[in-house]
Amino acid sequence: MSRARDPRDVLLLEVGARALDLVIALQPQAFGADRDAHIRRVHEIDAQVARLRKARRPTPKPPLPAAKDVAQLIDLSGRHFVRQREHIAGQLQAFIDALNSQPRHAPEEVRSAIRAIARSAAAPIVEDADEAWRAFHAGSYKATLVMSGATLEGALQAAVERLGKPTEAAFHAVYPRRKAPAQADSYRFEEALSVLKHMGVLTSAVTHVARGIKELRNFIHPAVQKRQRGKVSDTRALLALQAVAAVVEELAERLDLD
pLDDT tens digits, 124-170:
999 999 988 877 876 778 888 888 988 999 999 999 999 999 999 99
Structural domain count, the chain: 2
The amino acid occupying position 113 is A
Clarify whether residues 117 and 245 are in a common domain.
Answer: yes
Does residue 127 share a domain with residue 15? Answer: no
Stronger pLDDT, 218 or 20, i.e. the higher one: 20
Domain that holds residue 14: 7-100
* Domain C-terminal end among 100, 134, 162: 100
Give the pLDDT score at 217.
Answer: 66
Cα–Cα distance for residue pair 63/48, rounded to 1 Å: 15
Residue type present at position 152: L
Q: Taking 60 as the threshold, does the pLDDT of residue 219 lie above it?
A: no
- Residues 174 and 247 both lie in one domain: yes
Whether residues 31 and 112 fall in one domain: no
- Is 85 within the bounds of a domain? yes
Is the Cβ–Cβ distance between 247 and 148 less than 8 Å? no
pLDDT number for residue 97: 82
Q: Is 1 inside any structural domain?
A: no
Tens-digit pLDDT profile for residues 81-127: 989 998 999 999 889 888 877 656 888 899 999 999 999 999 999 99
**Residue 258 pLDDT class (50, 70, 90 cuts):** very low
Domain contains 48? yes
Residues 69, 130: one domain?
no
Reported as half-sphere exposure (CB side, CA atoms, 13 A), residue 74 has a value of 17
Does one domain contain both 139 and 95? no
Rounded distance between C-alpha atoms, residue 198 and residue 195, angstroms: 5
183: Cβ–Cβ under 8 A, 6 or more apart, which residues? none
Could you read off the pLDDT of 239-257 as tens digits, one per residue? 899 999 999 999 999 986 5
